[in-house]
Amino acid sequence: MITILGIESSCDDTAAAVIRDGILLSNVVSSQKVHESYGGVVPELASRAHQQNIIPVVHEALKLAGVDKDELSAIAFTRGPGLMGSLLVGTSFAKGFSTALQIPLVDVNHLHAHILAHFIKAEGEDKKFPAFPFLCLLVSGGNSQIVLVKSYKEMEIIGQTIDDAAGEAFDKCAKVMGLGYPGGPIVDKLAKEGDPSKFKFNKPHIQGYDYSFSGLKTSFLYLLRDEVKKNPNFIEENKKDLCASLQQTIIEVLMDKLYKAAKDLKIKDVAVAGGVSANSGLRQAFEDYRLRYGWNIYIPKFGYTTDNAAMVAISGYYKYLDNDFCSIDAAPYARLTV
Ligand code: KG4
State if residue 276 touches ligand 1 by the CB under 6 angstroms criterion. Answer: yes
Block means of pLDDT (10 residues each) for the chain, length 338 residues?
A: 98 96 97 82 92 98 98 98 97 98 98 97 94 97 94 97 95 94 95 98 93 95 97 97 98 98 98 97 98 98 94 98 97 81
Question: pLDDT tens across 110-156, in order?
Answer: 999 999 999 999 999 999 999 999 999 999 888 899 999 999 999 99
Q: What distance in angstroms lies between residue 167's CA and the mean position of ligand 1's atoms?
A: 5
Counting atoms of ligand 1 from 1, which one is nearest the CA of 183?
Answer: 14
State if residue 140 touches ligand 1 by the CB under 6 angstroms criterion. Answer: yes
Provide the 10 A C-beta neighbour count for residue 215: 18
CA angle 252, 173, 337 (to 5 degrees): 65
Neighbouring residues of 120: CB distance < 8 A, sequence distance ≥ 6: 19, 24, 304, 310, 311, 314
Question: pLDDT tens across 265-294, in order?
Answer: 999 999 999 999 999 999 999 999 999 999
CATH class, domain 3-126+304-321, is alpha beta
**Does the domain formed by 134-301 have CATH 3.30.420.40?**
yes
State if residue 184 touches ligand 1 by the CB under 6 angstroms criterion. Answer: yes
To the question of pTM greater than 0.75 for the whole model, the response is yes
Same fold, 3-126+304-321 and 134-301: yes
pLDDT at residue 181 in the model: 83
Maximum pairwise Cα distance, the chain: 68
pLDDT at residue 337 in the model: 54
State if residue 278 touches ligand 1 by the CB under 6 angstroms criterion. Answer: yes
State if residue 281 touches ligand 1 by the CB under 6 angstroms criterion. Answer: no
Rounded-to-10 torsion of CA 64, 65, 71, 75: -90
Q: What distance in angstroms lies between residue 170's CA and the mean position of ligand 1's atoms?
A: 8
Running DSSP on this structure, what letter comes out for residue 245? H
CA dist., res. 185 & res. 198, Å (int) = 20
Look at ligand 1, atom 5, and give the residue with the nearest C-alpha. 141
State if residue 8 touches ligand 1 by the CB under 6 angstroms criterion. Answer: no
CA dist., res. 19 & res. 40, Å (int) = 31
Neighbouring residues of 172: CB distance < 8 A, sequence distance ≥ 6: 164, 183, 217
What residues does each domain of the chain span? 3-126+304-321, 134-301
